[in-house]
């Protein structure tokens, strides 16, 4: 069970859109639509912003959206804002009632 692969960092200017990828295998991301995305500010607990690939919890901005193709899931943030600067993690069901996280991506808003 290896960690899902995410880019270490991405950046964008206010108003732009960015996409963060999360690549797994046919044993985790590719097999289940059970993948969540988390936003984490420094020193704070993660907050879930997307679940089941593309569903948003109530209260989460519709600027956040999720998708999946094959073994790769993606988080897109549109209309980038300064407050979006944070670390982002994906997490997938990996079978046998286990979960695996991605390595995390640091988003910088230029």
Partner 1 sequence: QVQLQESGPGLVKPSETLSLTCTVSGGSISSYYWSWIRQPPGKGLEWIGYIYYDKSTNYNPSLKSRVTISVDTSRTQFSLRLNSVTAADTAVYYCARHELGGNPRFDYWGQGTLVTVSS
Q: Which of 14, 15, 57, 79 binds partner 1 (CB under 8 A)?
A: 57
Q: Which of 46, 49, 64, 80 binds partner 1 (CB under 8 A)?
A: 46
* Closest of 3, 8, 5 to residue 98, by C-alpha: 3
> Which of the stretches 15-23, 40-48, 67-75, 76-84 binds partner 1 when contact is defined by CB under 8 A?
40-48
Q: How far is the CB of 76 from partner 1 (least distance, A)?
A: 19
Number of C-beta neighbours around residue 54 at 10 A: 16
Q: How far is the CB of 82 from partner 1 (least distance, A)?
A: 23
Q: Which of 19, 27, 48, 54 binds partner 1 (CB under 8 A)?
A: 48
Q: Which of 12, 23, 27, 99 binds partner 1 (CB under 8 A)?
A: 99
Q: Distances from the Cα of 45 to the Cαs of 23, 42, 79, 86, 87, in angstroms?
A: 23, 8, 24, 12, 11
Euclidean distance between CA atoms 81 and 101, whole angstroms:
25
Q: Please say which residue, 1 or 9, places its beta carbon nearer to partner 1.
A: 1
Euclidean distance between CA atoms 24 and 21, whole angstroms:
10
């Amino acid at each position: 069970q290896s960690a899902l692969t995410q880019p270490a960092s991405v950046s964008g200017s206010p108003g732009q859109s960015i996409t963060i990828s999360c690549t797994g295998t046919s044993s985790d991301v590719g097999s289940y639509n059970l993948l969540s995305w988390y936003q984490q500010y420094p020193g704070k607990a993660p907050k879930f912003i997307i679940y089941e690939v593309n569903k948003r919890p109530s209260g989460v901005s519709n600027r956040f959206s999720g998708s999946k193709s094959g073994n790769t899931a993606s988080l897109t943030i549109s209309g980038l804002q300064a407050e979006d600067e944070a670390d982002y993690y994906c997490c997938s069901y990996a079978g046998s009632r286990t979960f695996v996280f991605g390595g995390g991506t640091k988003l910088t808003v230029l």
